Amino acid sequence: MGRVGAAGDNAAIESFFSLLQNNVLDTGPWRTRQQLRQAIVTWIEATYHRRRKQKELGRLTPVAFEQTLLSQAVGLTA
């Protein structure tokens, strides 16, 4: 990793963009950039972040990880 031409460097982002392409970009024509932008943000926030578990977050989804942190913070202040 980190070397020029290392295949693993781009694997994660290429996987993300492949999913984005299949699930948002190829679903139909977009009239405006704003409409496309809203569709991308909605897909990331409503679908991608709620389903994809991440190694760095202890195999939790970003949403589950945030909920864990929030519940710990509430427990500390109570």
Q: pLDDT tens digits for the chain (78 residues)? A: 556 666 666 777 888 899 999 999 999 899 999 999 999 999 998 888 788 887 888 888 888 888 899 998 888 765
* CA atoms 10, 47, 19, 25: torsion sign: negative
- Does residue 16 contact residue 25 with C-beta atoms inside 8 Å? no
What's the token pair of residue 59?
A: 């195999």
Tens of pLDDT along 24-42?
A: 999 989 999 999 999 999 9
pTM above 0.85, yes or no: no
16-27 b/e (C-beta count within 10 Å ≥ 16 → b) = eeeebeeebeee
Beta partners for residue 54, in sequence order: 60
Residue among 46, 47, 45, 43 at smallest CA distance from 24: 43
Q: Provide the mean pLDDT of the chain.
A: 85
Q: Please state the domain extents for the chain.
A: 7-77
